[in-house]
Structure 1
Amino acid sequence: MTAKWTKRLVLTFLAGLLFAGTAATTAQAEDGYRFWGYYQYSGGQWAFAQKGSEVVVPADGSVEGWRYAVGGVKPRVPRAAGDFATICGATPAEAGKKRVALVIDPGTPADSPSGEAPPPATGTCVVTDPKATGARILAAVKPVRIEKGLTCGIGGYPAKGCGDPVKDIKVPASDEQVKLEIGPAVGSTATPSPAAVPTNSNQAPTADDDSGTPWTGIIIAALVVALLAGGGLVLSRRRSGS
């Protein structure tokens, strides 16, 4: 096992202890971090991932979640339910692939670094290889900024910083739920059904529309025939004269 791999596992383990509420705390004001948390949705609720996204291999029908927030002992989960049917229901299953619903919640303005506005929370259905990890699924949807083995930015947010410590954090007792913006499926090779062609249009033909008759081609052909005929007539008269 390489030193880089070991470092990632240690950081993931420590983050899990801190943000899942199992770390020891003091009676003083709580300190925390501003970071992207990694979650899985099961049994109607979000749970902080106990392993890093680079080793987790979600099963078909799973729901993955990422949430940016200032967190301490209490985990700050995505503010939308991980409804697989809502996110992936319109995406057909494909042989040899899996469908995973991905929720990305950049959090609230209060969580964001100074001067940055969080984009809307999104839901995306990812159709991918059965062995794809959580990290690959995330990277298929948004560009990911990695620093020191940690996921520091998703889709360009935030533009800088990574797991920055925050003193005397004020975590709300609960977060207001938000509605996801559902984007198009990623990785699907299914071809959408062609748009229906109207068979009884009530639109009247315009002045330039003669019911589809190719008048331009007919006129050109007639001119060519006339020119050829005229040339033949001239040639015939010359021969007669000689």
Structure 2
Amino acid sequence: MTAYRRTVRLVLSLLAGLLLAGTVATTAQAEDGYRFWGYYQWSGGQWAFAQKGADGVVPADGAVEGWRYALGGAKPRVPRAAGDFQAICGSTPAESGKKRVALVVDPGTPADALNGQTPGPATGTCVVTDVQATGAKILAAVAPVRIEKGLTCGIAGYPSAGCGDQVKNIQVPATDDPVTLQIGAAVGSSAAPSPTTSPAASSSDSGGAPWTGIIIAAVVVVVLAGGGLALNRRRASQQS
């Protein structure tokens, strides 16, 4: 593993630790954020932020991977549909020597979009691939991926430009309405099912962090750490 990837893992792990410790909930005051594709895994009935890049994750058979494009600040913006493996891959037969991974791709809402661009529907695809396939390979099997400086910047041509762009004074909704996935034919299967749809399902906003790149994550870690220190000092002065 390269030094760059080790650094990415370290920064993202630090950020995840801050989120789990509740730092974001107590110190997030500024509503500045970024537009980006977030990478998640379905775990324990909710979406959880991936603590490794997609090229470093090897999902197991039966796993559910998720991507969500959103305008995010302190509040996580996870895929708006649940990671229902049965709905996405249930009609795709298992194949010897391969694995089935359900992939949810959610381009987000018009409010998340860059000016002049329109997000497509959220989709679910069953990917049948070799057992060692990474999250990056699974995503690339479904749609073209635009990579810049090691970051996933566009999926299936959306957005057509930009990558982790900072946005000032953002307005993040308290909740995201659930959506109905458009489920397409399986990819890589010799017996692909017909496209269908899955029922709308709420996704939990509690598991996941909004930053997927080392640059974004590093900035946020510094800001959150500084905010937490300031908050602790203010509380100490009030109690003295």
Same fold judged by TM-score > 0.5? yes
Q: Which structure has greater helix proportion?
A: 2
TM-score, normalising length: structure 1: 0.72
Identify if the C-alpha distance between structure 1 residues 191 and 95 changes in structure 2 by more than 3 Å, giving closer, same or farther: same
Tell me, yes or no, if the aligned pair for 2:92 and 2:192 is still in contact at 8 Å. Answer: no
Q: How many angstroms apart in 2 are the aligned matches of 1:119 and 1:19? A: 30
Once the two structures are TM-superposed, the CA of residue 75 in structure 1 deviates from its matched residue by 1.0
Give the letter aligned to residue 162 of structure 1. Answer: C
Moved more, 4-13 or 139-148: 4-13
Residue equivalent to 2:104: 103
Once the two structures are TM-superposed, the CA of residue 94 in structure 1 deviates from its matched residue by 0.1
SS of 2:111's equivalent? coil
Identify if the C-alpha distance between structure 1 residues 142 and 15 changes in structure 2 by more than 3 Å, giving closer, same or farther: farther
Higher relative contact order (CA 8 A, sep 6+): 2
TM-score, normalising length: structure 2: 0.73
CA-atom RMSD in angstroms: 2.3
Once the two structures are TM-superposed, the CA of residue 12 in structure 1 deviates from its matched residue by 4.6
Give the letter aligned to residue 123 of structure 2. Answer: T
Give the letter aligned to residue 128 of structure 1. Answer: T
Q: How many angstroms apart in 2 are the aligned matches of 1:185 and 1:105? A: 17
Identify if the C-alpha distance between structure 1 residues 106 and 189 changes in structure 2 by more than 3 Å, giving closer, same or farther: same
Moved more, 15-24 or 132-141: 15-24
Residue equivalent to 1:149: 150
1:155-166 matches, cutoff 5 A: 155-166=156-167
Identical columns (%): 73
Q: How many angstroms apart in 1 are the aligned matches of 2:131 and 2:63? A: 11
Tell me, yes or no, if the aligned pair for 1:36 and 1:69 is still in contact at 8 Å. Answer: yes
Gaps of 5+ in 1: 193-242
Identify if the C-alpha distance between structure 1 residues 74 and 18 changes in structure 2 by more than 3 Å, giving closer, same or farther: farther
Query: Highest Rg: 1 or 2?
Result: 1
Q: How many angstroms apart in 2 are the aligned matches of 1:169 and 1:141? A: 31
Count the aligned residue pairs: 192
SS of 2:56's equivalent? coil
Moved more, 115-124 or 22-31: 22-31
Residue equivalent to 1:78: 79
Once the two structures are TM-superposed, the CA of residue 190 in structure 1 deviates from its matched residue by 3.2
**Superimposed CA distance per residue, residues 122-169 of structure 1 (whole angstroms, 9 cap, x where no aligned partner):** 000000011101000000001000001100000000000000001111
Residue equivalent to 1:176: 177
Gaps of 5+ in 2: 194-240
1:195-206 matches, cutoff 5 A: none
